[in-house]
């Protein structure tokens, strides 16, 4: 069964909508195979988003991701990677379709409530960044 990585970002954690976002996953065939709440260090956030290190928004992204705790989860299900991205909606919440997580819970392109892996290859890398295989069930 396919797996993908989800991060509930500091804005959504601070708003108290972890449960509402988990409900979106579980109501749409995505099982939570592993989850934990943690505070990213600056080094961890930089490493996690290393693919974006040349982008102009990189420093703001890192600052935002360490501004408070996040919830990282492994989601499992049929087409889990694409399904999670469909549930999240567009990166910019102003462009996200009604009923998506970002349309309902996000403020702007930086504080956009959730992250989800954007390919199966990245899903494997991102899952391994946070979880040992023994902790995924």
Site for ligand CMP, rule CB under 6 A: 52, 57, 61, 91, 109-110, 112, 115
Instruction: Give me the least distance between CB of 115 and ligand CMP, in Å please.
Output: 3
Instruction: Give me the least distance between CB of 48 and ligand CMP, in Å please.
Output: 9
Q: How many CB atoms lie within 10 A of CB 87?
A: 21
Side by side, the strands of the sheet bearing 3-8 are 31-38, 70-76, 3-8, 114-116
Residue number closest to ligand CMP, CB atom: 115
Instruction: Give me the least distance between CB of 136 and ligand CMP, in Å please.
Output: 21
Annotated catalytic residues are: 115
Say which DSSP state 127 is in: H
Pick 12 or 34: Cβ nearer ligand CMP: 12
- Distance from C-alpha of 115 to C-alpha of 96, rounded to nearest angstrom: 14
């Amino acid at each position: 069964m396919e797996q993908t990585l989800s991060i509930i970002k500091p804005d959504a954690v601070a708003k108290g909508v972890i449960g509402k976002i988990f409900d979106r996953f579980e109501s749409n065939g995505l099982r939570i195979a592993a989850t934990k709440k943690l505070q990213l260090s600056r080094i961890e956030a930089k490493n996690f988003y290393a693919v974006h290190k040349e982008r102009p928004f990189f420093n703001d992204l890192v600052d935002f991701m360490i501004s408070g705790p996040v919830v990282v989860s492994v989601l499992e299900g049929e087409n889990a990677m694409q399904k999670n991205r469909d549930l999240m909606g567009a990166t910019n919440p102003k462009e996200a379709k009604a009923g998506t997580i970002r349309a309902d819970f996000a403020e702007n392109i930086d504080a956009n409530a959730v992250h989800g892996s954007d390919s199966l290859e990245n899903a494997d890398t991102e899952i391994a960044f946070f979880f040992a295989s023994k902790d995924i069930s």
